[in-house]
Structure formats: structure tokens, C-alpha cells
Structure 1
Amino acid sequence: MTGAAIIGVGCRPFGRYQDTTVRQEAVRAVREALADAGVSWSQVDYAVGGSMDGGTADTLVAELGLTGVPFLNVFNGCATGSSSLISAVQAVSSGAAEIAVVVGFDSHPRGAFTIDPAAMGLGQWYGAVGLALTSQFFALKIRRYLHEHDLPERLLAKVAAKAFRNGSLNPLAWRRKPLSEDDINASMMLSDPLRQYMLCSPNDGAAALVLCRADRAREFSPHPVYIAAATVRTRRPGSFEVLSPSLSVRRGVSPTVDAAAAAFEQAGIGPAEVDLAQLQDTDAGAEIIHLAETGLCADGEQAELIEGGHTEITGRLPVNTDGGCLANGEPIGASGLRQIHENVVQLRGTAGDRQVPGDPRVAFSHVYGAPGLSACTILTR
């Protein structure tokens, strides 16, 4: 267990901002989280946040207030938000801070993410020959996974349809229109077997959290959520990750396997105790793979889980209850904190039409980022 709790959350609608800026939305997300916690910005003695394209997080103090607060900038790919959370957890748990704010935000143009191959430790040739288009990587990975574990391709459309169905119940989601499996299967093939509506899109979004020491949580909130674990891991030899120029002869586990195992060990909680989960679903295949890599099921069991309705909001293991990346899009800096926000409102019982029944007590979240790292968080009531 960590020594930190979440006492406030704020999340702005995801999408493409027209009448505002992502920076303004980040400030609003922080203010929402502070109001939810019942504290002021002047009481915050540690802040951390990150963004890929939206600007540097520490400059938000120009609008929030020039209090001299220590403010760290973090960038860790799609795990930026969760990695920022880990920094705040460590500051609060160690006693270095009483109240901490975590914020993530981003704004990306239409189309695929752009990268600098040299910044990823690759030659410029990598982008020039087209290998930086990550939909190809995800397609190859899920094609191999389906074959190796004898899983049907139809699961991809089922996962995507669930995401849009859940997103239609989420007022903060970008894609609010439910899509049927037929709609999804009729969309354009982009990287076989992944079709247009099986892949998420870059967009805009902002989310924030307020943390305090676990033993003081009820001083601030009647419904605190405790951070049982927060971990991050990078890849090991033989792990086939985004931007890998080749497939190693030696097979190794994904960093997701290591991050999830470390989170469950830190929390003293087993996968069977998880009541709901938010999993990285950059594409529909990723959710299928990550169900097993996080230990929530065994390889090959996904067909029974998905086709049996067990990953639906009313199932025994609801997954991506807010619509995930497929319905919300993926603003890199905000994406991981969106997951945490969703798990907090679910554990509070305030998720509205998408509320998981049965009084959930343990929530798991997982993010995966290029070029090969993963972060996992476990929250409890």
C-alpha cells in the first residue's frame, strides 16, 4: 500500500477544442479537482504534470497562482499521467508534501501522431520507410496474438462496439454515438485486421487530481479513494514493442506484465479481487492483449470473457467503463488521468448511467506507451 489518497478529481470533456484552448481546460480541470477536494491552490505544496504537445505543465501557475509551489514536468509517452501520479504519490507518502496536485493535458492535430525517430533511439530511416505508423505495429501484434491463442477475429468488433456503447453514457467522452459491430466491420480497413473504428484518434483533453496523506484523507473528503499501488516499468530484452525495427528470436514479456505484477504485489491484492478495470485500448486488439498481460485473465480466455458479456458494465469484470481511448480519443498527457478519474467516480458510486453495480471496491488502471513502457494503478475504497 502507498500512503496517499485521492480527495479531488477534475476532468474536462475530451474532443477537439474550438472555443477554448487545452491550456485553459487544464486550468479548469485543476480548479475542478481543488473544488472537489475542498482545498485552495495556496494549500498545495507539490504539483506535477505533463503534456506532449500542449505546453509545459508548470507554466499553468500563471493562471492558478504564483505561490512558489514546487512543480515538476513529466513526459513518459502514454504513461505521462500515471507517471506524474507516481511522483505525487511518492512526495505525499514520504512526507515531503501534505497536498499535491497532478495534471495532464494535451492537444493533437488530426491524423497519426508524429514522432522524431532519433529521439526514440532510432535512425531517421525508420520514419522515411514508413515504420513509424504505429497502426501497422498494433495490427501485426494482434494478428500474431489471435493466431497463437486461437482467438476469433470477431472479438475486435465486439470490443470496439462496447467502447462506443459505454462512451455514449459518458458526458465527457468525445465519441457519444453507439456503433454496432456491423457499423465497425463496415468501416475502412486501415491495417489488417484493424479497421477505422477499431483505432483511437489523437485529440484534446485535460484531467487533474488532488492527493493528500492517506491518514488525513477523511479530513478533506467523506469519500476518499486510496492509492493501493502505483507502478511503472520499461521493456526488457525480447519484448516486441512499438517502434521495434525487428522481432527478437528470444521472446520476452511486455512491460505491462512487469508493471501489473508489481502493482498487485505492492497493493497486496490479487487480480481476482478487481471489480473494474481501465485498460489501454489504443486499438481494439490492445484491450484483448492487455486483459491477459495484466493478469486479469489467462491467454486465450478473452473470447469467453468478451462474448459472455463479462467485460460489460454489468459484467463481472467491467472494462473501459467510460469508453476508453476508442470513445474518448487519446490526448497523451491526459489519457492516464482520465482512467484514474473514471475509477474514482466509479468507486464513489457517482458514475451515473455507466455506474458499475454491486458497490465496487477495487479498481485497476493500465496504460502502455511508446517505445515500450507501462504504468498500473490500483485504487481502493
Structure 2
Amino acid sequence: MSLSRKRLSFLGKTALVGVGLTALAKVSGRSVMSLATEACRTAAEDAGLPLGEIDGVLSFNFNNDSVSSQSVATALALPEPRYLLDVSLGGQAPAFLVMQAAAAIESGMAKNVLIFRALNGRSGQRVGSSRASGLAPNFRYPYGFTAYPQFIAMWARRFLIETGGSELDLGAVAVAQRAWAANNERAMRRTPLTIEQYLESPMVADPFRAADCTTEADGACAVLVTSRERALDLKQDPVVIEGAAYGTRKRSGLDAGDALLWPDMTRNYTSIIAEELWRSADMAPADVDMAQLYDCFSSSVLLAMEGLGLAGRGEAADMIRAGHTSPGGRLPINTNGGLLAEGYLHGMNTLAEAVYQMQGRAGTRTVHGARTCVVTSGALTDGSALVLSREARANHDYLNLG
């Protein structure tokens, strides 16, 4: 047993079991509280767990764009909340909060924990619409370096230069994920995309075109975390947490948009946590059947594939162009269309898709026989990741596993 597995005592003992998703829209016409409570209720119902047994609620927000865990626990009339947590994070948070929930369950601080993300991210407060907090904006804003497409475009261009790539590499990601989105009724962008259409789309921030950028949405998503033992008695198959890691390094920046001191913009946090992640799961990159990779922009997929060792240096785009990540490929990636096509819930729906796939509940896009999945949360200097596995019960094994 690895040192990391010994250190993270919840690995192999905790599981994700229920998922709740609201509709994704440009204009929800609803309050964020309404979206949050719907997603949480749906996740509990999906798991077959009474709300009265839930004693933990966790969430995250970005510049106060959501509602608190305590307020949602109150709205749900939870009888005795024992573990409430809100973190000021963006896309780094989903896998990280699963780790917090699992640790709370393993330590006895809680038994059943909901994690949610809710926001009116298209019709309400949009990412970048308000001045970022912290010290770094004082140095960026005066010369117009203010928007997230600008920040991440720097990384994308440096990555393409250092690996000998081009905008066609970014386009490969967008095209492949749109093929998955065509089979996802929730996706906001379902129309198939060709590389020719990609090249004709407008430039947003060089080298990003419109199709390289996430689809902002109103909506909410929740997942339920519980013990593996309890999950075996619930409605859905347990999705066991086999590996987990969160990390960054010094000089990571004063806020999410500050990466000017980062030593290598051709690599993000996935390169830092990969060894710990795989060691914690007692697995190697070749052992996973699919990947759900955070993709606020198309370049994040390339960085994560190479950072985690799913592809060699400078080889991720070629792997995508060869069809290996597309429907029918050997390593399906972002099978819901990703944040680029389904909609931007800051990576919570990336995690939800992993659970659906491991439970065989992704409809026509289900990857039959898939038993292991790696999930990432985050794009730049810090982030988190999980390795998940499907545990099918003998009387609940409805997949054709081959």
C-alpha cells in the first residue's frame, strides 16, 4: 500500500452515489437558492437517501456569486447539520470538496454530505464581470489585462510554441467534444463542429476562438458523498473514491488571474499532482478507462492530458485527432461535451458526468465496460483530481460489461 493511500484514510472507503442537475440555460428566471435546493434535493432522491439523513453541505463561490451551505441546509430543513463548509474557489473546487467531504465522513464528523454549485452564471453575475479581489489586479487592470480568456490565452500560446503546435490543436479539442455533446440532451452547444467551421469562428483572445471558450450558463449541480458501506444499500451503484490529490507550488499567484511568476506556462497543476494522484490510487495512467477533464478553455484539456501522463509531451492533440478520445475511442474524454459544450458550472458537471458514466447512466453516450475514471478540477496554478471506480452490486449490475 502506498504512502499516499495510508495518509488519505478515506480512499477506498467513501463513494459518490447521487447526482442532481437542474436545466442549464442562458436565462433561468430563478433565484440561485431555488437552483441550489433543486439540485440538492434531486441528488438525495437520486441516491435514494432521505434528506433527514444528510448532515453535511459543502459548496464554493467565486466573488460571492452563489448562496451559502448553511442557507441551503436551512432551506432543505436538514434536521441536524454537523459539517458546513464554503470555500472561495472556482474550478479548482469540485474534486477538492469531494476530498473534504470524504475526510469528514471517514473521521466521523459527518455521515452523508451534499456538495453543490449553483449560480446564474449567464444572466446574473458573470465571471470577470466584477473586479477581482486581492493585490494583483492593481498591477493588471491599468493596462487592460482583466479577463480570463486573456489570462489563459497566454498559457495556450506558450504551450503551442513550446510543443510545436498550432491553433489546429485547440480546434481538435473543440471538434471532438462537440461530437460527444450531440448525444447529450443537456448540452447548450449540440451542433456538430468541423475544423473548417472552427477556423471560421471569431477570435476572442489569440489563440482562442469562440469554440475554445466555455459556455456560460445558469444552473446548479449537486453530488452526494457517503461511506462505501452505506452506498451499497442505496439506489445507485457506489462510485468509489480510489485516488485523490490537490496541489500547487510556490509563486502560484496572488489571485486566480495572476500567473506572471509561474515558472513554466506550458504546464499546469496536473504536472505537479500527477505522481501523488496515481500513487494514491495504486494505478497508472494506462489503468483508467476514461477521463473527465476540466475545460474552461480548450487548452486546459491538452495540458491535463499531458500533465497526467495520458499523452506524451506534445502528443495530446494528435491523440485527439486520431479519434482516441471521441465516441468509440480507446480513452473517451469529456463525454458530456465538457464545459465547452454542455455548460459552465465550474466543473461540478464534469464530476457529475464521471459519476453517471461509472454508474452506466449516461444514456446513449455511456461507455459500456468502463470501470475507472480520472476527474480534474482547475485550469492553472492550483487544482485537484480524483480517480474513481465503479462498484457494481451483483443484483444491480445492469451493464453489458463484455
Letter paired with 1:174: M
**Equivalent position to 1:287, from 296, 301, 319:** 301
Any idea what the Cα deviations from partners look like across 1:251-286, whole Å, max 9, x if unmatched? 895322223332211111111111111112121122
Q: Is the 8 A contact 2:178 2:337 kept in 1?
A: yes
Deviation at 1:374, TM superposition (A): 0.7
Relative to 1, partners in 2 of residues 1:380 and 1:149: Cα closer, same or farther, differing over 3 Å? same
Please tell me whether the aligned partners of residues 77 and 369 of structure 1 are also in contact (alpha carbons under 8 angstroms): no
Match of 1:92 in 2: 105
Corresponding residue of 1:6 = 16
SS at the partner of 1:346?
helix
CA displacement, residues 217-242 of structure 1 (integer Å, 9 cap, x when unaligned): 21224511101123221233489995
Aligned to 2:389: 380
The answer to whether structure 1 residue 114 and structure 2 residue 129 are counterparts is yes
Shift of residue 324, structure 1, vs aligned partner: 0.8
| 2:227 paired with 1:213 | yes
Paired residue for 1:232? 246
Q: Distance in 1 between matches of 2:228 and 2:162?
A: 44
C-alpha separation in 2, matches of 1:77 and 1:143:
23
1:278 aligned residue:
292
Match of 1:69 among 81, 90, 97: 81
* Residue 321 (str. 1) matches residue 332 (str. 2): no
Decide whether the 8 Å contact of 1:115 with 1:132 is kept in 2: no
Partners of 2:263 and 2:93 lie apart in 1 by 31
Aligned pair 1:46/2:46, yes or no?
no
SS at match of 2:114: strand
What is the match of residue 67 of structure 2? Answer: 55
Instruction: Note the C-alpha offset of 1:146.
Output: 1.7
Given the superposition, is the C-alpha separation of residues 55 and 348 from structure 1 closer, same or farther in structure 2, using an over 3 Å criterion? Answer: same
- Write the deviation string for residues 4-62 of structure 1: whole angstroms up to 9, x where unpaired: 11121112222323333332122111111111111111111222122331222321123
CA contact (8 A) 1:238 1:250 kept: no
Alignment of 1:47-196 (within 5 A): 47-52=57-62, 53-70=65-82, 71-109=84-122, 113-117=128-132, 119-196=133-210
The reply to whether residue 19 of structure 1 matches residue 34 of structure 2 is no
Q: CA deviation at 1:360?
A: 0.4
Q: 2:377 is matched with which residue: 360, 367, 381? A: 367
Query: Is 1:239–1:251's contact at 8 Å kept on the other side of the alignment?
Result: no
Farther-moved stretch of structure 1 (157-166 vs 241-250): 241-250
Q: Give identity over the alignment, percent.
A: 27
Q: CA deviation at 1:132?
A: 2.0
Paired residue type of 2:184: N
Aligned to 1:29: 39
Seen in structure 2, the aligned counterparts of structure 1 residues 168 and 292 have a Cα distance that, compared at 3 Å, is same
- What whole-Å deviation, never above 9, does each CA across 1:339-360 have from its counterpart, x for those lacking one? 1211111111121121123x00
282-291 vs 317-326, greater mean Cα deviation: 282-291
CA distance in 2, matches of 1:212, 1:57: 17
Q: Which moved more, 1:252-261 or 1:69-78?
A: 252-261
Separation (CA, whole Å) in 2 of partners of 1:217 and 1:66: 20
Tell me the secondary structure at the aligned position of residue 34 of structure 1: helix
Q: Is the 8 A contact 2:242 2:388 kept in 1?
A: yes
Cα distance 1:116–1:186, how it changes in 2: closer, same or farther (>3 A)?
same
Structure 2 unpaired stretches of 5+ = 1-10, 391-402
| More divergent stretch after superposition (137-146 vs 341-350) | 137-146
Instruction: Give the AA of the match of 1:46.
Output: G
Gap change, CA 1:252 and 1:164, over 3 Å in 2: closer
The residue type paired with residue 60 of structure 1 is V
CA contact (8 A) 2:155 2:265 kept: no
Query: CA, structure 1 residues 265+123, in 2 after alignment: closer, same or farther (shift >3 Å)?
Result: same
RMSD, matched Cα: 2.4
Distance 1:172 1:250, change over 3 A: closer
Q: CA deviation at 1:328?
A: 2.3
**Matched-pair contact (CA < 8 Å) for 1:6–1:227:** yes
CA contact (8 A) 2:374 2:386 kept: yes
- Alpha-carbon distance in 2 for matches of 1:185, 1:362: 35
Amino acid at match of 2:69: A
Match of 1:350 in 2: 361
Give me the whole-angstrom Cα distance separating, in 2, the residues matched to 1:296 and 1:344. Answer: 20
Q: Helix, strand or coil for the counterpart of 1:340?
A: helix
Q: How many residues align?
A: 375
Contact 2:39–2:222, Cα closer than 8 Å, also in 1: yes
The equivalences for 1:238-317 within 5 A come to: 243-244=257-258, 246=260, 254-317=268-331
Structure 1, unaligned runs of 5 or more: none
The verdict on how the C-alpha distance between 1:272 and 1:233 changes in structure 2, with shifts beyond 3 A counting, is same
Corresponding position of 1:202: 216
